[in-house]
Chains A and B, each alone.
Chain A
Amino acid sequence: MSDNMRNNVRDNMGHMNNQLTQEMRDLARELLASGEVKGLFGWTKGSRWYLTPPVFITKPEEADRLCYDEFAVNNLTGLLLDFRDSQDKIAVFVKGCDSRGIVRLVQDNQLKRENIVVIGVPCPGMGDKGAVTDHRQAQELPLLAKCLECRYPNPVLADRTIGAVTVTTEPSAAPSGATAEAAKGRGVGSKEADRFAQVEAIEKMSPDERYAFWQAQNKKCIRCYACRNICPACNCRECIFDSDKKNWVNKAATPTDNAFFGITRAMHVAGRCVECGECERVCPMDIPIMAMNRKLIGDLNELFGPYDAGVKADEKPPLGAFKLDDPEEFM
Chain B
Amino acid sequence: MKAFPKDKLTAVLDTLAKQATLWVPAIVAGVSRFAPYGPGREVQLGANTVMSPKEALFPATEKIYEYSAYGIDGEFTPVDPSVGPQILFGLRSCDMQGILCLDDVFLTRGYVDDYYAKKREEATLVTLGCVTPGPDCFCYAMGVNPAEHAASDAQLFDLGDAYGIVARTAKGEALVSALETAGLLSESDKAPLPTGDFVLKVDAEGITEKLQHMFDHPLWDAFSRKCLNCGACAYICPTCHCFDISDKKRNAHCGIKIKCWDTCMYSEYALMAGGHNPRPSKKERVRQRFMHKLRYFPERYGKLQCTGCGRCIAKCPVNLEITDVIQQVREAKIDG
The chain A residues found within 8 Å of chain B, CB to CB, are 41, 46-48, 51, 53-56, 74, 78-79, 82, 132, 135-136, 216-217, 219-220, 222-226, 228-230, 242-244, 247, 250-254, 278, 281-282, 284-286
**Do residues B258 and A53 form an inter-chain contact, with CB atoms below 8 A?**
no
Return the contact of A251 from the options B28, B244, B249 (Cβ within 8 A): B244
Chain B residues with Cβ under 8 A from A216's Cβ? 29
**Do residues B318 and A54 form an inter-chain contact, with CB atoms below 8 A?**
yes
**Do residues B268 and A53 form an inter-chain contact, with CB atoms below 8 A?**
no
B226 in contact (CB, < 8 A): yes
Number of A-B contacts (CB under 8 A): 116
**Do residues B228 and A48 form an inter-chain contact, with CB atoms below 8 A?**
no
**Do residues A247 and B230 form an inter-chain contact, with CB atoms below 8 A?**
no
Chain A binding surface SS class:
loop
Chain B residues with Cβ under 8 A from A223's Cβ? 231, 235
Chain A residues with Cβ under 8 A from B248's Cβ? 250, 252
**Do residues A132 and B317 form an inter-chain contact, with CB atoms below 8 A?**
no
| Smallest beta-carbon distance A132→chain B, Å | 7
| Smallest beta-carbon distance B299→chain A, Å | 28
A74 to B222, CA, bound (A): 17
Per-position contact with A for B21-33: 1 when CB-CB < 8 Å, else 0?
Answer: 0000000111100
Chain A residues with Cβ under 8 A from B200's Cβ? 47-48
Chain A residues with Cβ under 8 A from B282's Cβ? 82
Chain A residues with Cβ under 8 A from B317's Cβ? 74, 226, 229-230, 278, 281-282
With contact pairs A222-B235, A250-B247 given, residues A79 and B230 touching in the complex (Cβ less than 8 Å): no
Chain B residues with Cβ under 8 A from A252's Cβ? 61, 248, 258, 260
**Do residues A226 and B232 form an inter-chain contact, with CB atoms below 8 A?**
yes
**Do residues B249 and A54 form an inter-chain contact, with CB atoms below 8 A?**
no
B160 in contact (CB, < 8 A): no
Q: Please count how many residues in chain B sit with their CB below 8 Å of the partner chain's CB atoms.
A: 43
**Do residues A243 and B228 form an inter-chain contact, with CB atoms below 8 A?**
no
**Do residues B231 and A225 form an inter-chain contact, with CB atoms below 8 A?**
yes
A-B contacts, 7 listed (Cβ < 8 Å): A54-B318, A55-B225, A55-B226, A242-B268, A244-B246, A252-B260, A282-B230
Return the contact of B225 from the options A79, A225, A282 (Cβ within 8 A): A79
Chain B residues with Cβ under 8 A from A250's Cβ? 246-249, 258
* B residues 222-271 in Cβ contact with A at 8 Å: 222, 225-226, 228-232, 234-236, 244, 246-249, 258, 260-262, 266-268
A226 to B234, CA, bound (A): 12
B323 in contact (CB, < 8 A): yes
**Do residues B249 and A135 form an inter-chain contact, with CB atoms below 8 A?**
no
Chain B residues with Cβ under 8 A from A282's Cβ? 228, 230, 232, 317
Chain A residues with Cβ under 8 A from B319's Cβ? 46, 51, 53-54
**Do residues B222 and A284 form an inter-chain contact, with CB atoms below 8 A?**
no
**Do residues A79 and B226 form an inter-chain contact, with CB atoms below 8 A?**
yes
**Do residues B29 and A217 form an inter-chain contact, with CB atoms below 8 A?**
yes
Return the contact of B61 from the options A54, A254, A281 (Cβ within 8 A): A254
Residue of A nearest to B135 (CB): A135
A35 to B260, CA, bound (A): 47
